[in-house]
Each structure stands twice: as C-alpha cells, then as structure tokens.
Amino acid sequence: MEARIPQTKMIVTCPICHNGQTHPGHSTITVSKPGGATIVFKDVPADICDNCNEPYVSEEVSACLLEQARAATKAGVEVDVRSFAAA
C-alpha cells in the first residue's frame, strides 16, 4: 500500500479535455450564489490544465470560496472582486 498523495500535488490528465495535464498555479475564480453575491476571486491557488486552462481547486479552497461568498451575500454585497486570502 502506498501512502495517499494529496490531490493538489499530483499532475493528472485533465478530466475535461483529456489532452492536457494540470499544473499548480493561480487562477481567477468566479463564485455566484443564486439570488446572492457574485464574487470574483483573484490569485486562487489551483491546478490548471495546460491545454484548456480549466482550473481545479482543492476541496479546502472551494469551501473557503463558498464561505466567503455566503458571508458577502449576508452582508448585502452583490458584486465584488477580491484577492483570495489563504486561510
């Protein structure tokens, strides 16, 4: 049995285009809550496909983005652009 390697450190074939490979980098991710805030996060750590540029964020980062979008919705924010602050 091999130890499990964290997903973010793996270079994998892109599940969308099946051509490219993902590499660690940073991307801009837009999170839109239905009837709530639309937040554009810049400099989000993500694995990015070198073929189609699809960004893949970890569950941890994804949860953090959703939490911030929920907080913004609660605060009455409709649209915001912010840099991603790692927790």
Q: Which residues contact 26 (CB under 8 A, 6 or more apart)?
A: 43, 44, 45, 46
Is the CB of 23 or the CB of 82 nearer to Zn ion? 23
Question: How many chain residues are in contact with Zn ion, going by CB under 5 A?
Answer: 8
Determine which residue in the list 17, 71, 79, 86 makes contact with Zn ion, applying CB under 5 A: 17
What is the three-class DSSP state of 49? strand
Phi, psi of 6 (to 5 degrees): -55, 140
Select from 32-40, 48-56, 59-67, 77-85 the region that touches Zn ion (CB under 5 A).
48-56
Q: Which helix (H) or strand (E) holds 25?
A: strand 22-32
Interaction between residue 49 and Zn ion (CB under 5 A): yes
64 part of the interface to Zn ion, by CB under 5 A: no
Residues that bind Zn ion (CB under 5 A): 14, 16-17, 20, 49, 51-52, 54
